[in-house]
A and B are shown apart, each in its own frame.
Chain A
Amino acid sequence: MTRRATLVATAVSLLLILAIYFGSRMLRDFDSALIPYAVATVFLAFGVAYRYTVWVSAPGARRLFTKGWGSLFSAENFRKAPTALPKMIATYLGFQKFLGARSHARWAAHQLIFWGCILAAAITFPLTWGWFTFTSSTGSGPGYEMRIWGFKVLGYDSSSLIGWLMFHGLDVAAVLVIPGASYFLYRRMKDRGAMTGQRFAYDLVPLIALIVISVTGLLLTFSSIFLHGGGYEFLALLHMVSVVFTLIYIPFGKFFHIVQRPAAVGMQLFKYTARQKDEVFHCRRCNTPIDTAPYVENLEATMRDLKLDFAEWAEYCPRCKRELRGNAYLSHVKKGFK
């Protein structure tokens, strides 16, 4: 498995290097000042691909992964419910309705972090790869052109609102991330539920990293506007170190949920398509619906893969399992519970 993961990760990293090379028009548009960031993204690609391969090789994930993609690529499913997938992606991955069911405050804070990070990633990744360029046809402006892979996609005036947003997109992202991450950090220090079993490297480091990146990023703007560039080099270095560290940390810690979470959409689609066909599995003892029949079948197969040889037990609802165990104890172990 390790060999397979290494091969996949190497292939993905090489593909990214090629994409950087060709996307930056043979490095013509590549900004050498951003080399550390670009190198970190290659490491990130390796780490994510490696961890992802190992993850989807485990029986539980592998089977749901196959079923999820199978549901996605089923023409029959698409014909029956063409809007199901986009709706799930929007409500689940985009607006994260399920987090609202856990706590409204956590939902709001997570939305701030999520959209801030999406914005930051959409700006910085293509920039560090040399895919985006901003050039002025009139020397020092104010007319600017944004080009992707060398093709002009947008022309704007740098003094306009669009121009301001283009140059301050990362500041906007930082302003979104800081309150969100601060709330979670506060919660990690105050909420006894959240503190139960929390680990510094897993639970606190990601939040601290997000705040450091955002604050140093904002300070760079502050330095250039108010301090005439005072301390800029040091801040740029600090910002770069924090970003590079965070990118490399993604595959190993809490941030890996960003990569894992879309699997939930596959799982939901798998269950949704079975429910459309009324394929519901009922408890063999009390007839309570357990889940969809293909899901129970998939779980039993997973259990057999794992040598958990009581797979048929999954055909009983949790309550019946407990009651049957209680009855067995009552009749075989302690008669009448005496």
Chain B
Amino acid sequence: MMGKTIFIDPGRCIGCQACVSACRECDSHRGKSMIHLDYTDPGQSVASLPTVCMHCEDPIAPCAEVCPAEAILITADGVVQQADTTRCIGCANCVNACPFGVPKIDLEAKLQMKCNLCYDRTAYGLAPMCATVCPTGALFYGTLEELQAERPGVQVADSFAFGDVMVSTGVAMVVPADKVQWPVPGGLPVVEVNGVDVR
């Protein structure tokens, strides 16, 4: 987990889409929102899940690893940048390899785009757009100490399980205290009947 990072608490998310609108204003991808807001069980639950790039640390950035054009740069502070416009060939390897379903692709422009932690802001100490506007604190930007000072006793997890594989990330999620010792389930379905996922 990075020093200053985003902490996601889906329990606080009210699905208002303020983060989606604010993300569009980010200078590095003006007009296009990179944050995803998914309603996980529509019709049954109002639960919603905001997804920003998790900035995978171990294995380091699978999107960058599978990139055939060496287009995704990871800066020294652990931020996985969006594809270099000069290099990206629009193959979508990153889009489909990302275990969190984060990168987007513009097939006409042959260009991948993704959350870069609002690097134009965070590099200067400002909070990312999404965390700045989130009215409920579902997206919090700061250090773990700052989060815990504001929300005493809160616990976070920065590892996710995809089947047998564990992925450690730079961005963390808020979890109940009794769940801290386990990685957060990544959602990879494993229940199959005759090769068909039945979850």
Q: Which residues of A contact B (CB under 8 A)?
A: 55, 58-61, 63-65, 98-99, 101-102, 192-193, 195-197, 254, 257, 260-261, 263-264, 267, 284-285, 290-291, 295-296, 299, 302-303, 306-310, 312-314, 316-330, 332-334, 336-338
Contacts and interface: CB of A to CB of B under 8 A. Distances in A.
Nearest to A206: B86
7 contacts: A60-B66, A193-B27, A197-B116, A257-B86, A285-B189, A318-B36, A334-B10
A263 B89 contact: yes
Contact of B101 (A291, A321, A334): A321
B11 A325 contact: no
A302 B93 contact: yes
A299 B93 contact: yes
Interface in B155-182: 160, 162-165, 167, 173, 175-176, 179
Contacts of B148: none
Contact of B97 (A193, A314, A329): A314
Interface stretch (B16-24, B37-45, B125-133, B139-147): B37-45
B189 A324 contact: yes
A194 to B, nearest CB: 9
Contacts of A263: 68-69, 89
A318 B110 contact: no
Contacts of B120: 192-193, 195-197
Interface of B: 10-11, 13, 27-30, 36, 38, 40-41, 45, 47-49, 51, 59, 62, 65-70, 73, 75, 81, 85-87, 89-93, 95-103, 106, 108-111, 116, 119-120, 123, 160, 162-165, 167, 173, 175-176, 179, 184-189, 196-197, 199
A64 B71 CA distance: 15
A interface: dominant SS? helix
4 pairs of A and B residues whose beta carbons are closest in the complex: A326-B40, A324-B187, A318-B101, A321-B101
B162 to A, nearest CB: 4
A307 B186 contact: no
Contacts of A314: 96-97
A318 B65 contact: no
Given A193-B30, A326-B10, A332-B185, A308 B69 contact: no
A326 B42 CA distance: 12
B101 A299 contact: no
A7 B123 CA distance: 42
Nearest to A317: B101
Given A98-B109, A267-B89, A317-B101, 14 more contacts: A60-B67, A63-B68, A64-B93, A98-B111, A267-B91, A285-B189, A299-B93, A306-B59, A306-B66, A310-B163, A322-B100, A324-B187, A324-B188, A337-B47
B119 A61 contact: no
Contacts of A330: 10, 40-41, 45, 47
A254 B119 contact: no
A313 B189 CA distance: 8
Contact of A101 (B97, B106, B196, B197): B106
B47 A328 contact: no
A299 B40 contact: no
B49 A325 contact: yes
A295 B66 CA distance: 13
Contacts of B51: 322, 325
A193 B116 CA distance: 12
Given A257-B86, A327-B41, A321 B100 contact: yes
A251 to B, nearest CB: 13
B187 A327 contact: yes
Contacts of A101: 106, 108-110
Contacts of B28: 192-193, 196-197
B104 to A, nearest CB: 8
A307 B86 CA distance: 28
A334 B187 contact: no
Given A55-B70, A321-B101, A309 B185 contact: no
B188 A303 contact: no
Contacts of A322: 36, 38, 49, 51, 100-101
